[in-house]
Every structure is written in C-alpha cells, then in structure tokens.
C-alpha cells in the first residue's frame, strides 16, 4: 500500500510461535528427591518432608501426603502418614521441595500449534516482505506434493508497509498452487492469487461478517484477509482428511503432550476445536488409544459465517460430559471481536489509526451481542459453557451483556483476553458469575509495552491493560492461561509476570489460584482436582524451588521435577 496514511504503525512485533526445543527443557541439576521407582496409581505412595501448598484455604500447607490408587487419602504432617510407610509401594522424601496442584491452562491451542500441517514459519521481526520470498520458495520445494502450501508467522504490518501489493510478492514466491500464510497473531491471512481464486474472492466479493478483504489502490484484493475473512482460507487449506488428521495426531503425541507434562500442566482447554478440520477426531483417537496425559475440555469453534440453527444442532450432537473421561466436549468458543493491531477489536470510540478503511471504525464483531445471547440460550441448557474472545471495551461489554441476558446460575462462562476493560464493567464479572480469563505470559503484556497501543486507540484506554488487580479487588474469578502459541505455555512465566506487573499485579496466592482451583472450576472439575485435598485425584507437581521463599524475579526460572496425573507419573526430571 503506497499511501502514507495507510502505513501500518510501528507497534512492537510479537513473536508468537515459541516452540521450545526438547533440549532446552532437559532439567539438569534438579537434585533432591530420593531415588524411587516410577510412581503409579496402583497401591500407596507417600510424600513426606515437603512444603506442600494445597490451594485449600482451610489447610494451605502440609508436609506430607498419601496417595492410594490415584486418590489423595491423607494431607497433613509426617506423623500423619507414618502408619502407611510399612505397606507403601513408594516413599518419596521431598527434602523440603515444594509440591502443589497441577497447573491448568484453560486457553491453549494444542493441536494447531505443533501440527506439521503448517509447513513452514516466517520471522515476524522481518521488516521487508520481499525478504520472505526465498523461504517461501524453499518451503514450496520441500512440500511440493501438498495441494495447498500453508505457513505461519509473518507480521501483518510488514505486508501492509510493502512497496508492492502483498499478493504480487507471494505470487513471485509460488504461483503454481494456492498458498496461505497465517500471521503471527492468527488474526489475518496472506493469500496468493491461486488461493484467492479457489476461495472465489475478487474485487466484487463482499466482506464476511467479522472480517475484511483488503484491497490495493486499484480496488483489487491485495492478498491480505483480515480476521474472519481469513478463516475460510485456512478451512479450505486444512479441510479434514485422514492424512491431515494423522499429522495433527503425531504433533500431539510427539510434541504437545510430552511438553505439557514437562511443564506441570495436567489440565487444558483446547480453545478452538475446528470441527471442519477434524480436530475432534484427533482428540477422540487419543482417548481411545489411552495416550492422554492431561485432562481436556474441548471448546468447539463457532463459525461466524455458519447458519446458527444448523451449527447449534451440530454442537448438540458432539456434546459429551462424562466426568470419568479425560476428554469432554462441553465448551463453545466464539469471538465477540477481533484484534487491536488489526483495528478489529470492538471499542466504544473510533480508532485513531484505521487499518480497515472504515470511517469512524470502532472494530468488528464476529458474533453480535444478540447472536451470542441466542447461542448461550440454546446451548447452556444442554450443558455447554462458553469461552468468549473479547479484547476491546465494547466487545467485552457486549459479551457480558449476552451472558447476563441468557446465562443462568448453572453456567460457568468465561471471557478470555479482557485486554481493554471499561472500569464500569469491572464489577459485572462477579455479579453474573463470569470468569475473566487473562494471558500475561507474553512479554508484550507487561506494563512497559502498554503505551504502544496508543498508536491505535486513545491513550487513556491503554492504561491498566489486562487489569488483573482491579478485577481481583472487584471479586471476579480470575484464570490465567497461555493462548499458546500466542504466548509460551510455561506457567512460571505467567506467574512471574502476574505478580510483578504493577500497577495491575496479583498476589502469588491469587495467581496460583488462577492457574489451579479457579481454572478447575471453569473446567467443571473443581470437585475432583485443582487443590490438594482428601478425596480428590492426585494431579500434583513437584517444583525445584519454593515459590514463596524466592524473589519474584526468580519465579520464571522454576522447573518441574515431577508431574502426576491421577497418581500416575507422566513426567520426571532426567536428574531423578
């Protein structure tokens, strides 16, 4: 785009795909546990001499624990467990190490983020879109047999600041077949001419709900598809096939599940189960084959362009909520709005910089307030809870309205992101029992970066971005999550940032509750896990340092020594 008025602001670019190598996760030097055979839920296991943080307000700390057949039988002192030692299958001396409940990550994208159905990634720090050509051509040769070439990782501003139309640049790289590349934010897609033709997009194509087809100065599509306009491109490129589902499955088995266990994550919500891409089949196969090492609530993706009645019936057909299963399809993921950097997050006042070419642009809605309310009314009674993406103050306000209008006391709905919140809405979360799910693991969320948003929105709106402290003071239930691959899924990064991001910091106790018992509530399993209490299942982790006895700046360096899921050891540090 050549006009200066259309130049994209120089907002700090976020590197979102943080796939940590296995070598970097080898936990050398983590000594202190007695050598013991692998823990199994069969029989009795005893932990003693520990600093056991229970997240149970009636008994916050203990020094010993008894697990029998995966269930916590005793939480107390060393003396309390002494009678079990003679017959215990395993006795582990924690030697003062900290134990706590396993972490929950209630907003993550585990299938998408490690699947090799995405053939290549680009560097979001690249300043010149022309410099992407070589890598895209190289990927085209490496994946010459793929019908669609699929990539990830560029920064949309790099495309919009290019001298040539983005579609021409991508055509120079590969023009023999469709190419689609998701931006680092996942809120836009770069498409070549072949892809645009396959999608039926030309200069006369109307914008879809919640999306924008960008055009060059001559009115032709320039290959940049904003928000929901890009969804159709990826649905076509990644349409479910047995081969694609196998690739997704392998990414889960060989990368995602082992990494979650290494990071002490025992429960997750898959926050975008693309049923058109067969994600539900991947999850069901993992359960059938007994390969899950994490509890999963799957949030089925609500397509904004689908017919509501048809989609609601499809959701009902997929609903499962067996409390004894590690996998449940009992949540719905929908977007209220888009992204600030795309000028699609919904605000009550116009953007200062307008990417979309809309006079007085206040952002877009994937789902209007009325449609969200309709879905909640139709599906809460079935048993579904809603996970609603809302970033701008208007988007959050409308999501709260929809929950208040159609939700009931039985619902456990949550609004995720909650980045720019109108102070008048802060108290509404507690009032209507809506959980505020926030992500602060990424450095971009820290206070030193808040001012960068002033290029897009009023500066006074940028203050107190992701207002954790305000929400906590107002009595809101908070959960902390990663949105991986948007941010790393290492929970200690999220904890560290949560307790140090003044003026919107949390206490360590509140941050730990957000990652455990509060998230367990959101997953409808707080009666089973989320705290260390007698009668609950033993989803627990052992840490190499006590979070309460170190400087807050050291929390991010904490390592997991051991992870148990219902008493079964699913991860152990290599040094043990």
Confidence of residue 31 (pLDDT cuts 50, 70, 90): very low
Average pLDDT, stretch 538-552?
A: 98
Three-state DSSP class for residue 561:
strand
For the chain, what percent of residues have pLDDT higher than 70?
93
Report the alpha-carbon distance of residue 462 to residue 104 in Å, rounded: 29
pLDDT value of residue 25: 30
65: which strand partners?
Answer: 47, 75
Report the alpha-carbon distance of residue 365 to residue 44 in Å, rounded: 53
Please give the distance of CA 280 from its chain centroid, rounded to a whole number.
Answer: 17
Strand ranges (E), 360-517? 385-390, 414-417, 435-438, 478-480
pLDDT value of residue 466: 98
Confidence of residue 574 (pLDDT cuts 50, 70, 90): confident
R_g of the chain, CA atoms, integer Å: 24
- Token pair of 552 as six digits: 């807050």
Cβ burial of 484 (10 Å; 0-12, 13-18, 19+) is buried
For the chain, what percent of residues have pLDDT higher than 90?
90
Question: In the chain, how long is the greatest CA-to-CA distance?
Answer: 82
CATH number of 4-22+118-237: 3.10.310.70
User: DSSP alpha helices (H): ranges in 435-475?
Assistant: 459-462, 468-473
pLDDT in tens, 93-141: 999 999 999 999 999 999 999 999 999 999 999 999 999 999 999 999 9
Report the alpha-carbon distance of residue 371 to residue 127 in Å, rounded: 39
User: Would you kindly state where each structural domain of the chain is located, as residue ranges?
Assistant: 4-22+118-237, 31-102+535-572, 240-522
pLDDT of 235 higher than 60: yes
pLDDT value of residue 26: 28
Report the alpha-carbon distance of residue 259 to residue 105 in Å, rounded: 13
pLDDT of 3 higher than 90: no
pTM (2 decimals)?
0.92
pLDDT in tens, 452-490: 999 999 999 999 999 999 999 999 999 999 999 899 999
- Token pair of 335 as six digits: 């977007």
Give which of 423, 515, 424, 425 is closest to 415, Cα–Cα.
425
User: In Å, how far are 46, 82, 533, 538 from 91, measured between CA atoms?
Assistant: 5, 11, 19, 15
Quick one: 31-102+535-572 is in which CATH superfamily?
Answer: Urease, subunit C, domain 1 (2.30.40.10)
Residue in this structure with the two tokens 């992701």, named with its chain if needed: 466
pLDDT in tens, 145-178: 999 999 999 999 999 999 999 999 999 999 999 9
Q: What angle do CA 87, 93, 95 make, to 5 degrees?
A: 160
Cβ burial of 202 (10 Å; 0-12, 13-18, 19+) is exposed
Report the alpha-carbon distance of residue 514 to residue 478 in Å, rounded: 5
Report the alpha-carbon distance of residue 191 to residue 222 in Å, rounded: 8
pLDDT in tens, 357-392: 899 999 999 999 999 999 999 999 999 999 999 999
Taking all residues of the chain, what is their mean pLDDT, rounded to a whole number? Answer: 92
User: DSSP alpha helices (H): ranges in 459-526?
Assistant: 459-462, 468-473, 491-500, 508-515, 517-522
- From the options 3.40.50.2300, 3.20.20.140, 3.30.750.80, 3.40.50.11890, give the CATH code of 240-522: 3.20.20.140
List, in order, residues 6 or more apart from 336 with CB less than 8 Å away: 346, 365, 366, 367, 372, 388, 389, 390, 395, 396, 398, 399
pLDDT value of residue 81: 97
Contacts 24+ apart (CB under 8 A), 399-402: 399/336, 399/369, 399/372, 400/425, 400/428, 400/429, 400/432, 400/434, 401/369, 401/373, 402/369, 402/370, 402/372, 402/373, 402/376
pLDDT in tens, 81-94: 999 999 999 999 99
Mapped to the 3 state alphabet, what secondary structure does 198-257 carry? HHCCCCCCCCCCCEEEEECCCCCEEEEEEEHHHHHHHHHHCCCCHHHHHHHHHHHHHHHH
pLDDT value of residue 40: 65
Give which of 397, 489, 394 is closest to 434, Cα–Cα.
397
DSSP helix, strand, coil percent of the chain (3-state; round to 5): 35, 20, 45
Report the alpha-carbon distance of residue 5 to residue 264 in Å, rounded: 48
Please indicate whether residue 52 or residue 8 has the higher confidence score (pLDDT).
52
Confidence of residue 32 (pLDDT cuts 50, 70, 90): very low
pLDDT in tens, 410-424: 999 999 999 999 999
Are the C-beta atoms of residues 155 and 182 closer than 8 Å to each other? no
Report the alpha-carbon distance of residue 223 to residue 307 in Å, rounded: 26
Three-state DSSP class for residue 478:
strand
Confidence of residue 37 (pLDDT cuts 50, 70, 90): very low
């Amino acid at each position: 785009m050549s006009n200066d008025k259309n130049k994209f602001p120089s907002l700090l670019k976020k590197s979102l795909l943080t796939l940590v190598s296995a070598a970097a996760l080898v936990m050398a030097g983590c000594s202190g546990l007695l050598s013991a055979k692998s823990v199994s839920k069969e029989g009795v296991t005893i932990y003693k001499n520990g600093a056991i943080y229970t997240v149970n307000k009636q008994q916050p700390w203990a020094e010993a624990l008894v697990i029998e057949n995966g269930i916590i039988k005793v939480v107390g002192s060393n003396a309390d467990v002494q009678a079990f030692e003679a017959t215990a299958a395993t006795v582990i001396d924690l030697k003062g190490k900290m134990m706590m409940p396993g972490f929950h990550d209630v907003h993550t994208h585990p299938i998408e983020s490690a699947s090799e159905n995405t053939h290549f990634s680009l560097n979001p720090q690249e300043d010149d879109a022309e410099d992407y050509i070589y890598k895209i051509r190289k990927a085209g040769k490496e994946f010459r047999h793929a019908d669609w070439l699929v990539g990830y990782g560029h920064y949309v501003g790099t495309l919009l600041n290019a001298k040539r139309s983005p579609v021409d640049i991508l055509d120079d790289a590969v023009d023999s077949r469709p190419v689609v590349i998701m931006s680092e934010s996942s809120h836009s897609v770069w498409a070549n001419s072949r892809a645009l033709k396959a999608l039926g997009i030309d200069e006369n194509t109307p914008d879809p709900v919640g999306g924008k087809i960008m055009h060059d100065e001559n009115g032709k599509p320039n290959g940049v598809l904003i928000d929901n306009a890009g969804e159709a491109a990826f649905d076509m490129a990644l349409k479910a096939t047995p081969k694609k589902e196998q690739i997704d499955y392998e990414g889960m088995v060989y990368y995602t599940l082992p990494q979650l266990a290494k990071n002490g994550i025992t429960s997750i919500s898959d926050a975008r189960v693309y049923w058109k891409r067969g994600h539900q089949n991947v999850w069901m196969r993992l359960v059938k084959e007994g390969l899950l090492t994490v509890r999963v609530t799957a949030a089925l993706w609500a397509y904004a362009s689908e017919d509501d009645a048809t989609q609601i019936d499809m959701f009902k057909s997929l609903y499962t909520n067996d409390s004894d299963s590690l996998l449940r399809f009992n949540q719905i993921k929908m977007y209220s709005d888009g992204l600030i950097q795309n000028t699609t997050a919904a605000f009550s006042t116009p953007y200062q910089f307008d990417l979309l070419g809309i006079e007085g642009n206040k952002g877009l809605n994937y789902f209007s307030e009325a449609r969200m309310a309709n879905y909640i009314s139709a599906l809460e009674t079935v048993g579904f809870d809603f996970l609603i993406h809302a970033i701008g103050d208007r988007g959050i306000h409308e999501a709260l309205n929809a929950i208040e209008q159609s939700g009931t006391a039985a619902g456990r709905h949550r609004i995720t992101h909650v980045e720019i919140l109108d102070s008048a809405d802060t108290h509404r979360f507690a009032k209507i029992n809506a959980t505020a799910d926030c992500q602060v693991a990424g450095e971009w969320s820290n206070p030193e970066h808040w001012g960068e948003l002033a290029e897009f929105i009023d500066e006074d709106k940028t203050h107190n971005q992701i207002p954790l402290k305000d929400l906590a003071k107002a009595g809101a239930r908070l959960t902390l999550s990663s949105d991986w691959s948007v941010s790393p899924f290492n929970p200690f990064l999220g904890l560290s940032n949560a307790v140090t991001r003044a003026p919107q910091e949390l206490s360590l106790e509140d941050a730990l509750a957000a990652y455990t018992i509060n998230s367990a509530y959101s997953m409808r399993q707080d009666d089973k896990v989320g705290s260390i209490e007698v009668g609950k299942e033993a989803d627990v982790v052992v840490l190499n340092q006590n979070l309460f006895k170190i400087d807050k700046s050291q929390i991010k360096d904490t390592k997991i020594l051991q992870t148990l899921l219902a008493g079964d050891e699913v991860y152990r540090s290599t040094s043990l």
